[in-house]
Amino acid sequence: MLINSSEYQAMFDAEEKLWWYKILHEKVLAFIQARQLSKDIKILDAGCGTGGLIAFLRNNGYDHCKGFDFSEDAVSLSRSRGFDVSQIDITKISEYFTDQVFDIIICNDVLYQFEDSEISGIFKGLFSKLSPGGFLISNNNAFEIFSGTHDIAVGSKKRFRLDDFTGYSNVSGVFNVHSHTYWSLFLSPLILLIRSIQRLQIKLKLVDLDNIKSDVEMPSTLVNSILYNIVKLEERLFKRAPFGSSLFLILKKK
Ligand SMILES: C[S@@+](CC[C@H](N)C(=O)[O-])C[C@H]1O[C@@H](n2cnc3c(N)ncnc32)[C@H](O)[C@@H]1O
Protein backbone atom coordinates (compact mmCIF):
# COMPACT_ATOMS: atom_id res chain seq x y z
CA MET A 1 0.00 0.00 0.00
CA LEU A 2 1.30 3.45 -0.86
CA ILE A 3 0.75 6.24 1.63
CA ASN A 4 -1.37 9.28 0.73
CA SER A 5 -0.11 12.55 -0.79
CA SER A 6 -0.26 14.51 2.47
CA GLU A 7 2.05 11.97 4.13
CA TYR A 8 4.66 12.45 1.36
CA GLN A 9 4.43 16.22 1.84
CA ALA A 10 4.88 15.73 5.63
CA MET A 11 7.94 13.56 4.95
CA PHE A 12 9.36 16.13 2.52
CA ASP A 13 8.86 18.96 5.04
CA ALA A 14 10.30 17.08 8.05
CA GLU A 15 13.10 14.87 6.83
CA GLU A 16 15.93 17.38 7.06
CA LYS A 17 15.04 18.52 10.60
CA LEU A 18 13.13 15.81 12.47
CA TRP A 19 15.35 14.06 15.07
CA TRP A 20 14.39 10.59 13.83
CA TYR A 21 15.42 11.22 10.21
CA LYS A 22 18.57 13.04 11.32
CA ILE A 23 19.67 10.07 13.43
CA LEU A 24 18.87 7.57 10.68
CA HIS A 25 20.69 9.56 7.98
CA GLU A 26 23.71 9.96 10.26
CA LYS A 27 23.76 6.19 10.92
CA VAL A 28 23.87 5.54 7.17
CA LEU A 29 26.64 8.11 6.67
CA ALA A 30 28.66 6.80 9.63
CA PHE A 31 28.72 3.31 8.11
CA ILE A 32 29.76 4.57 4.67
CA GLN A 33 32.47 6.82 6.15
CA ALA A 34 33.79 4.03 8.38
CA ARG A 35 34.40 1.87 5.28
CA GLN A 36 36.63 4.68 3.96
CA LEU A 37 35.13 4.29 0.50
CA SER A 38 35.86 6.83 -2.21
CA LYS A 39 33.39 9.69 -2.55
CA ASP A 40 32.81 8.44 -6.11
CA ILE A 41 30.97 5.30 -4.99
CA LYS A 42 27.62 4.63 -6.61
CA ILE A 43 24.72 4.64 -4.17
CA LEU A 44 21.11 3.61 -4.79
CA ASP A 45 18.29 4.55 -2.41
CA ALA A 46 15.57 1.92 -2.93
CA GLY A 47 12.15 3.29 -1.93
CA CYS A 48 13.74 6.70 -1.46
CA GLY A 49 10.54 8.52 -0.52
CA THR A 50 10.92 12.24 -1.06
CA GLY A 51 14.74 12.22 -1.37
CA GLY A 52 15.86 13.40 2.08
CA LEU A 53 18.61 10.80 2.43
CA ILE A 54 19.90 11.49 -1.08
CA ALA A 55 20.05 15.20 -0.17
CA PHE A 56 21.97 14.39 3.02
CA LEU A 57 24.49 12.13 1.26
CA ARG A 58 25.03 14.65 -1.53
CA ASN A 59 25.60 17.39 1.06
CA ASN A 60 28.31 15.14 2.48
CA GLY A 61 30.09 14.79 -0.84
CA TYR A 62 28.52 11.61 -2.26
CA ASP A 63 27.39 12.91 -5.63
CA HIS A 64 26.65 9.61 -7.35
CA CYS A 65 23.37 8.86 -5.62
CA LYS A 66 20.24 7.69 -7.41
CA GLY A 67 16.92 6.60 -6.09
CA PHE A 68 13.64 5.04 -6.99
CA ASP A 69 10.20 4.85 -5.47
CA PHE A 70 6.87 3.46 -6.66
CA SER A 71 4.87 6.53 -5.67
CA GLU A 72 4.40 9.31 -8.19
CA ASP A 73 4.22 11.86 -5.34
CA ALA A 74 7.52 10.66 -3.87
CA VAL A 75 9.25 10.66 -7.26
CA SER A 76 8.06 14.14 -8.16
CA LEU A 77 9.04 15.60 -4.75
CA SER A 78 12.49 13.98 -5.07
CA ARG A 79 12.86 15.33 -8.60
CA SER A 80 11.87 18.80 -7.38
CA ARG A 81 15.16 18.66 -5.43
CA GLY A 82 17.00 17.96 -8.67
CA PHE A 83 17.70 14.26 -7.99
CA ASP A 84 17.93 11.33 -10.40
CA VAL A 85 14.93 9.34 -9.17
CA SER A 86 12.82 6.86 -11.17
CA GLN A 87 9.38 5.40 -10.63
CA ILE A 88 10.00 1.68 -10.10
CA ASP A 89 8.25 -1.10 -8.17
CA ILE A 90 10.85 -2.65 -5.86
CA THR A 91 9.42 -6.14 -6.49
CA LYS A 92 10.46 -5.73 -10.15
CA ILE A 93 13.88 -4.20 -9.47
CA SER A 94 15.78 -6.94 -11.33
CA GLU A 95 14.24 -5.63 -14.60
CA TYR A 96 15.84 -2.19 -14.11
CA PHE A 97 19.40 -0.80 -13.94
CA THR A 98 20.37 -3.73 -16.16
CA ASP A 99 23.75 -2.24 -17.12
CA GLN A 100 24.62 -0.77 -13.69
CA VAL A 101 25.88 -1.94 -10.32
CA PHE A 102 26.00 0.00 -7.07
CA ASP A 103 28.54 -0.09 -4.23
CA ILE A 104 25.93 0.64 -1.57
CA ILE A 105 22.16 0.16 -1.70
CA ILE A 106 19.97 1.63 1.00
CA CYS A 107 16.45 0.42 1.67
CA ASN A 108 15.04 2.22 4.69
CA ASP A 109 11.55 1.50 6.02
CA VAL A 110 10.14 -0.03 2.86
CA LEU A 111 9.96 -3.77 3.63
CA TYR A 112 7.12 -3.48 6.16
CA GLN A 113 4.76 -3.14 3.20
CA PHE A 114 5.44 -6.67 1.97
CA GLU A 115 4.67 -10.24 2.99
CA ASP A 116 7.57 -12.50 4.03
CA SER A 117 7.07 -14.46 0.81
CA GLU A 118 7.86 -11.29 -1.21
CA ILE A 119 10.76 -10.00 0.89
CA SER A 120 13.27 -12.73 -0.01
CA GLY A 121 12.53 -12.03 -3.70
CA ILE A 122 13.06 -8.29 -3.13
CA PHE A 123 16.44 -9.06 -1.55
CA LYS A 124 17.43 -11.24 -4.52
CA GLY A 125 16.59 -8.35 -6.85
CA LEU A 126 18.39 -5.70 -4.78
CA PHE A 127 21.52 -7.79 -4.23
CA SER A 128 21.73 -8.51 -7.99
CA LYS A 129 22.35 -4.75 -8.39
CA LEU A 130 25.22 -4.65 -5.87
CA SER A 131 28.89 -4.90 -6.78
CA PRO A 132 30.78 -7.93 -5.35
CA GLY A 133 31.25 -7.45 -1.61
CA GLY A 134 28.79 -4.54 -1.63
CA PHE A 135 26.55 -3.66 1.30
CA LEU A 136 22.85 -3.10 1.66
CA ILE A 137 21.88 -0.80 4.53
CA SER A 138 18.35 -1.26 5.79
CA ASN A 139 16.43 0.30 8.64
CA ASN A 140 13.10 -1.31 9.57
CA ASN A 141 10.36 -0.95 12.15
CA ALA A 142 10.85 -3.44 14.98
CA PHE A 143 8.88 -5.44 17.56
CA GLU A 144 5.09 -5.75 17.35
CA ILE A 145 4.82 -4.30 20.85
CA PHE A 146 5.59 -0.87 19.32
CA SER A 147 2.71 -0.97 16.84
CA GLY A 148 0.29 1.95 16.93
CA THR A 149 -1.62 4.36 14.70
CA HIS A 150 1.57 5.11 12.72
CA ASP A 151 1.58 1.50 11.48
CA ILE A 152 -1.98 1.84 10.19
CA ALA A 153 -1.25 5.21 8.53
CA VAL A 154 1.73 3.81 6.61
CA GLY A 155 0.10 0.46 5.78
CA SER A 156 2.46 -1.70 7.83
CA LYS A 157 2.06 -5.45 7.41
CA LYS A 158 4.59 -6.34 10.08
CA ARG A 159 7.35 -5.19 12.43
CA PHE A 160 10.67 -7.03 12.32
CA ARG A 161 13.21 -8.79 14.53
CA LEU A 162 16.74 -9.84 13.69
CA ASP A 163 15.55 -13.45 13.22
CA ASP A 164 13.43 -12.36 10.26
CA PHE A 165 16.57 -11.24 8.43
CA THR A 166 18.52 -14.41 9.17
CA GLY A 167 15.48 -16.17 7.67
CA TYR A 168 15.53 -14.00 4.51
CA SER A 169 19.29 -14.59 4.31
CA ASN A 170 18.77 -18.37 4.38
CA VAL A 171 15.89 -18.35 1.89
CA SER A 172 17.42 -15.90 -0.62
CA GLY A 173 21.02 -17.14 -0.21
CA VAL A 174 22.38 -13.78 -1.40
CA PHE A 175 23.56 -12.03 1.78
CA ASN A 176 24.80 -12.36 5.35
CA VAL A 177 23.84 -10.10 8.23
CA HIS A 178 27.07 -8.13 8.78
CA SER A 179 25.93 -6.08 11.80
CA HIS A 180 22.80 -4.72 13.42
CA THR A 181 21.43 -2.63 16.25
CA TYR A 182 17.99 -1.87 17.56
CA TRP A 183 17.27 1.78 18.40
CA SER A 184 16.30 3.74 20.39
CA LEU A 185 16.69 1.85 23.64
CA PHE A 186 16.49 4.96 25.80
CA LEU A 187 13.32 6.23 24.13
CA SER A 188 11.62 2.81 24.24
CA PRO A 189 9.62 3.42 27.45
CA LEU A 190 8.21 6.68 26.05
CA ILE A 191 7.42 5.19 22.64
CA LEU A 192 5.87 2.11 24.27
CA LEU A 193 3.63 4.31 26.41
CA ILE A 194 2.46 6.40 23.46
CA ARG A 195 1.83 3.38 21.24
CA SER A 196 -0.01 1.51 24.04
CA ILE A 197 -2.33 4.49 24.48
CA GLN A 198 -2.86 4.55 20.70
CA ARG A 199 -3.73 0.83 20.68
CA LEU A 200 -6.21 1.37 23.51
CA GLN A 201 -7.79 4.27 21.60
CA ILE A 202 -8.11 2.04 18.53
CA LYS A 203 -9.71 -0.73 20.64
CA LEU A 204 -12.20 1.73 22.16
CA LYS A 205 -12.95 3.06 18.63
CA LEU A 206 -11.83 6.54 19.64
CA VAL A 207 -9.76 6.86 16.47
CA ASP A 208 -11.10 7.56 12.97
CA LEU A 209 -9.23 4.84 11.10
CA ASP A 210 -9.98 6.47 7.72
CA ASN A 211 -8.22 9.71 8.68
CA ILE A 212 -5.28 8.45 10.62
CA LYS A 213 -1.91 10.28 10.44
CA SER A 214 1.63 8.93 10.74
CA ASP A 215 4.09 10.08 13.44
CA VAL A 216 6.02 12.15 10.88
CA GLU A 217 5.44 15.52 12.49
CA MET A 218 7.87 18.16 13.78
CA PRO A 219 7.74 18.64 17.55
CA SER A 220 8.95 21.93 19.07
CA THR A 221 12.63 22.73 18.46
CA LEU A 222 13.40 22.01 22.12
CA VAL A 223 11.73 18.59 22.16
CA ASN A 224 13.30 17.74 18.80
CA SER A 225 16.73 18.58 20.15
CA ILE A 226 16.22 16.63 23.41
CA LEU A 227 15.09 13.48 21.56
CA TYR A 228 18.01 13.78 19.12
CA ASN A 229 20.54 14.16 21.93
CA ILE A 230 19.12 11.24 23.93
CA VAL A 231 19.66 8.93 20.94
CA LYS A 232 23.13 10.39 20.30
CA LEU A 233 24.05 9.63 23.92
CA GLU A 234 22.76 6.08 23.50
CA GLU A 235 24.92 5.68 20.38
CA ARG A 236 27.98 6.82 22.31
CA LEU A 237 27.31 4.34 25.12
CA PHE A 238 26.30 1.27 23.09
CA LYS A 239 27.57 0.12 19.75
CA ARG A 240 24.65 -2.29 19.61
CA ALA A 241 21.40 -2.00 21.57
CA PRO A 242 19.19 -5.04 22.25
CA PHE A 243 15.80 -3.35 21.96
CA GLY A 244 14.09 -0.44 20.27
CA SER A 245 11.32 0.43 17.81
CA SER A 246 13.69 0.28 14.80
CA LEU A 247 16.21 -2.27 13.60
CA PHE A 248 19.21 -0.89 11.69
CA LEU A 249 21.00 -3.54 9.62
CA ILE A 250 24.06 -3.84 7.45
CA LEU A 251 23.73 -6.76 5.03
CA LYS A 252 26.73 -7.97 3.02
CA LYS A 253 26.50 -9.50 -0.43
CA LYS A 254 27.64 -13.15 -0.47
C1 LIG B 1 8.08 5.03 5.05
S2 LIG B 1 8.52 5.47 3.44
C3 LIG B 1 10.28 5.46 3.56
C4 LIG B 1 10.90 6.37 2.55
C5 LIG B 1 12.42 6.54 2.66
N6 LIG B 1 13.13 5.31 2.44
C7 LIG B 1 12.78 7.12 4.00
O8 LIG B 1 13.57 6.50 4.75
O9 LIG B 1 12.31 8.20 4.32
C10 LIG B 1 8.20 4.01 2.49
C11 LIG B 1 8.44 4.24 1.00
O12 LIG B 1 8.31 3.00 0.27
C13 LIG B 1 7.72 3.32 -0.97
N14 LIG B 1 7.17 2.11 -1.59
C15 LIG B 1 6.05 1.43 -1.26
N16 LIG B 1 5.86 0.39 -2.06
C17 LIG B 1 6.87 0.42 -2.96
C18 LIG B 1 7.23 -0.41 -4.06
N19 LIG B 1 6.48 -1.46 -4.40
N20 LIG B 1 8.35 -0.11 -4.74
C21 LIG B 1 9.11 0.97 -4.41
N22 LIG B 1 8.82 1.79 -3.37
C23 LIG B 1 7.71 1.52 -2.66
C24 LIG B 1 6.67 4.33 -0.59
O25 LIG B 1 6.19 5.04 -1.70
C26 LIG B 1 7.42 5.20 0.41
O27 LIG B 1 8.07 6.27 -0.21
Atom of ligand 1 nearest to the CA of 214: 1
pLDDT at 2: 60
Per-residue pLDDT at 92 exceeds 80: yes
The mean per-residue pLDDT over the stretch 25-38 comes to 96
Query: What's the total number of domains in the chain?
Result: 1
The mean per-residue pLDDT over the stretch 127-152 comes to 95
* Phi, psi of 20, rounded to the nearest 5 degrees: -65, -45
Q: Whose CA is nearest to atom 27 of ligand 1?
A: 49
CATH number of the domain at 35, please. Answer: 3.40.50.150
Q: Is the Cβ atom of 48 under 6 angstroms away from ligand 1?
A: yes
Mutating to test ligand 1, I would choose from 18, 69, 216 the residue with most ligand atoms within 8 A of its C-beta, which is 69
Distance CA 4, CA 242 (A): 33
pTM of the predicted protein model: 0.96
Domain span holding position 118: 5-253
pLDDT 10s digits, 178-230: 999 999 999 999 999 999 999 998 889 888 887 787 777 899 999 999 999 99
Atom of ligand 1 nearest to the CA of 45: 6
Number of residues assigned to the chain? 254
Mutating to test ligand 1, I would choose from 91, 110, 158, 217 the residue with most ligand atoms within 8 A of its C-beta, which is 110
C-alpha distance from residue 9 to each of 61, 91, 156, 159 (Å): 26, 24, 19, 24
